[in-house]
Chains A and B, each alone.
Chain A
């Protein structure tokens, strides 16, 4: 009951705000959605506490039948286990803070329209909760697409801006590419297991071990195909290399949206899916190697791009992309626990960083370019402190949360020996260095040095109101505390106590044990590269502010390559977008209008012309008719004579 309230309270808030927002006004809509969120957070947290610490039993709350056709049957149901309870507690807590923060952040918006924003935020929260509490893959897909819709609406919230509209469409369509893979994966699971309810799937795992499926001219183990298809879905939602292009553009939405959706919760849905499906994925080693490979590549790729970006939100967006890569590395090597742990800590410190960036943007009169900032740390000391805490957590400095989770990911990668796992480890180490570097580049350029903004803006710089800073401080507390409080429970030798049956490790998967026995240098290396990244950024940007420009000039090719994000957008535009549009126009103008319509239209005009000629024969002159009759008689008679 607590659990169901946590899931449905945001829906109630969203509907009230959406349907009556105009009548009751912004203030009331904000109040309603926030009260519902607080209620959800209380229920969600207590459900989590009572399950994990209070000895509550996991279970399933069935609500109603959803889709039923023959042997295909799916219900609306809430699954209550450690994985979903942890996610619900985290989501409701962070979403509540972001709702509150938004009251301040959206304070300058024209009145009478902000209810829409709060309605969408709550709608998003509901969809995300449905996603994590799903009892079957179809309901998970419902939440999956629902968060996609909410993300579309929120990215395009400022619908007057063409760039925001374009980014919204891009996000939705790119996600849909992944979703197609996901949907096919669900269909294959149904074909293999005869059900898409988690309990039924997990119960059948050992039975279908050796099922095979033929596709792409080869025959593979069905689990491998399932793993790859599900991961394609995860790649879209979690912005992994190849389908990552929507995430940076999604920063067109208001900053609280970036914090909630594009950092803390929605983008982690793919990671969640991996953890949820661990009982099946454990037996798909090749698919999981692919997951590791893509995750590791994404971690490194996004970090390199983050190093040269100038938009404060985009830097953090690429950092998100990179951190998601870490989570997939962990999932890929079978350490789902570490993956979800990094998901949790990341949710806190990344939401903190985004909201902190929002506070900076708020202070700088909506400026987002860090080249036009600088010298403001004394004016907004609280925001400055919060950004420091967030960056320390992100860079993985002891004892901040990121230290524990990132180390766990890297140790798991190292401990699991395979070639892809080693690739994941080294990509992760390099990315950790770059992460620390760009985080301090961001901090220094934003807050230190000489002010580069105009005088008017500088005079206007002010600390944000309490309604924004209090959520920041709470998130900062999370970014400090979640690491060392949760690490022993989630990852320690007795991880089963915490997770119960929610996450499954196969009999040959000893990574959860082995990761604690890696050599000392593996444990120390992430911290060392992190600190050296910080040191390098400090030396360059504090000590030699002229150097970056010189480097950019010296290595112009590399610089432009990174600045343009490895030219992914341009490449996709050339090979997908433009040819598709050209093909579309061609099919319409040539295919439909000329060829397909040409035939009936041609037949019609032939008929019309033919009829016109026939009409000419009918002259109305008796002589002509008589002559024609005569010819006819002659022909008939001659035919008769010949044939006889």
Chain B
């Protein structure tokens, strides 16, 4: 029973539950509506900033030379069932905790003026969401993980359903049902694993060898849950709807963090716990991912709604992530992790870009815009940077992950690399086509003639994202170093596991 850890206090639990406390405080604010709204905004911003500041301890104190779990804290919870409350991070998860804590203050700042109704409840929901996200990435017990994993759904469902656009109810229910349907199967898998191993401790499960036949079923159950969350083709259609209807901050967090949950699940459960099934199903995943890359890039090309376009581009980018994960070599997984991070920053930033003009004109129709470069040069510059990052221009965040996955995929198969990288061409086509229609050209509509450039608040929102995008592109080693040891260990273990299975098979078969 060690409730403390390297930092001397239960850092991860603090990061997880501090937002909840802040949220509770916000719900207690009383008074005239305007004052409540203002107080709620400031309280939420401060809470999230403090959480972010605390999370920086992870950045500075994380031991990058170790592949094991760090900052581990453990408290007995249901000992007779083998269930503990256990938190900890390794190289795979640590930066996602930071991604979540970094994006939340940005989102709160971005919703400053655009959320006008029920501000207190909005901020509360957002902080609850932060609790769930951080908890999910830090959980080291399957049951705890499952609770956070599912718990994310509730605040997100409310964010879309209450503060969303005109078709918000349809989108919210679709989002909820899709993701829940998958999760039920994961619950079954959880039970099966618990029966087999007698514990839900994730590190123990990672060391447990499941029989190949069992692995197949477990893999499919996990796959049902994670594939929806990624989302992989063909279970991706909830995403564009959810994005379109969600408020800007909701889209940012959805693209930035929630989409990473599926890929994270693959990395935490499927690949390390089920090596044989991973090898067996990899070709199917590759096929679905390649289809996702090409299919959704093409669909993005045809979009007339800015948010939908970026939503579809997210599906394509996540296709690259799933390719990388299932190559199970260092470049592939490292590239997938980097692509997850960079996509979190870049697509989040792109949704914020849409939010900027939506706040002014209240339309997401691409045809409604044009010629913004004349009036909004700063905006045009930021949008250009993020578009280029999305396209994967070297020197920006988007390139490193995509290229590492390309190298990883090339080790598997030429065509996997070639087709999986079609996003390089199609991505350039749809992003530049979007940019041209929104930013270039001449202003024809009257309300665009007086549109204002980025306000100081908006610059404050974009500045950290601009810095991150360039930093990740020019000096990515400062990020990859976090997971190098973990990824190396994971790949080694995978190879060893496959070798032992085939040896076993060799013994049994004459």
Contacts and interface: CB of A to CB of B under 8 A. Distances in A.
Interface string A139-154: 0011011100100100
B335 interface: yes
Contact of A596 (B234, B329, B406, B441): B234
B488 A187 contact: no
Interface stretch (A158-166, A282-290, A297-305, A464-472): A158-166
B440 A156 contact: yes
Given A70-B488, A71-B330, A146-B395, A65 B477 contact: yes
B373 interface: yes
A615 B359 CA distance: 44
Contact of B237 (A146, A169, A214, A592): A592
B299 interface: yes
Given A165-B436, A215-B414, A180 B299 contact: no
B220 interface: no
A510 interface: no
Given A173-B425, A188-B410, A597-B237, A68 B477 contact: yes
A191 B411 contact: yes
A187 B477 contact: no
B57 interface: no
Q: Give the interface residue-count category, chain B.
A: 35 or more
Interface in B151-209: 174, 177-178
B480 interface: yes
A490 interface: no
B180 to A, nearest CB: 12
Interface in B472-498: 474-477, 480-481, 484, 487-488, 491
B101 to A, nearest CB: 25
A438 interface: no
Contacts of A190: 407, 410
Contact of A169 (B174, B421, B433, B476): B433
B334 interface: yes
A66 B295 contact: no
B454 interface: no
Interface in A54-85: 64-72
A172 B432 contact: yes
A373 to B, nearest CB: 29
A176 interface: yes
Interface string B428-459: 11001100100111100000000000000000
B475 A64 contact: yes
A65 B476 CA distance: 9
B501 interface: no
A430 interface: no
Given A65-B477, A184-B417, A587-B295, A159 B432 contact: no
A642 interface: no
Contact of B484 (A70, A145, A214, A604): A70
Contacts of B237: 592, 596-597, 600
A583 interface: yes
Interface string A444-466: 00000000000000000000000
Contact of B425 (A67, A177, A213, A585): A177
Contact of A592 (B299, B381, B395): B299
B115 interface: no
Contacts of B404: 67, 69, 72
Contacts of A587: 295, 298-299, 302
A159 B380 CA distance: 12
A563 to B, nearest CB: 28
A176 B422 CA distance: 10
Contact of A183 (B236, B371, B406): B406
Contact of A184 (B414, B425, B475): B414
Given A581-B302, A584-B298, A22 B377 contact: yes
A179 interface: yes
Contacts of B429: 169, 173
A409 to B, nearest CB: 32
A138 interface: yes
Contact of A70 (B334, B428, B477): B334
A149 B396 CA distance: 12
Interface residues of A, number: 56
Nearest to A215: B414
A69 B432 contact: no
B331 interface: yes
B330 A141 contact: no
B484 A183 contact: no
Contacts of B381: 18
B288 interface: no
Contact of B407 (A72, A146, A214): A72
B14 interface: no
Contacts of A585: 302
A160 B374 CA distance: 9
A178 B176 CA distance: 42
Contact of A187 (B394, B407, B424, B481): B407
A26 to B, nearest CB: 14
B53 to A, nearest CB: 28
B403 A584 contact: no
A166 B441 CA distance: 11
A142 B476 CA distance: 14
A591 interface: yes
B122 to A, nearest CB: 28
Contacts of A206: none
Contacts of A176: 424-425, 428
A176 B399 CA distance: 13
A580 B422 CA distance: 13
A60 B232 CA distance: 44
Contacts of B371: 160
B480 A162 contact: no
A588 interface: yes
Contacts of A597: 237
Contact of B373 (A144, A159, A166, A186): A159
A134 to B, nearest CB: 11
A259 B330 CA distance: 44
B238 to A, nearest CB: 8
Which of B381, B395, B439, B440 has the most A CB atoms < 10 Å from its CB? B440
Contacts of B107: none
B21 interface: no
B295 A591 contact: yes
B406 A184 contact: yes
B427 to A, nearest CB: 8
A69 B401 CA distance: 11
B18 interface: no
A588 B388 contact: no
A160 B474 CA distance: 32
Contacts of B476: 66-67
Interface string B376-410: 01000100000010000111000110011011001
Nearest to A75: B477
A418 to B, nearest CB: 28
Contacts of A160: 371, 440-442
Contact of B432 (A142, A169, A183, A581): A169
Given A172-B432, A184-B421, A149 B302 contact: no
Given A169-B433, A580-B301, A72 B331 contact: yes
Nearest to B483: A69
Contacts of A214: 414
Q: 3 tightest A-B contacts by CB?
A: A70-B330, A187-B410, A69-B334
Interface of A: 18, 22, 64-72, 138, 141-142, 144-146, 149, 152, 156, 159-160, 162, 165-166, 168-169, 172-173, 176-177, 179-180, 183-184, 186-188, 190-191, 213-215, 580-581, 583-585, 587-588, 591-592, 596-597, 600, 604
Given A66-B477, A160-B441, A173-B425, 5 more contacts: A64-B475, A68-B484, A168-B432, A172-B432, A580-B301
18 contacts: A66-B476, A66-B477, A67-B476, A146-B393, A152-B432, A156-B440, A162-B441, A176-B428, A184-B406, A188-B410, A213-B414, A580-B301, A584-B302, A587-B299, A596-B234, A596-B236, A596-B237, A600-B174
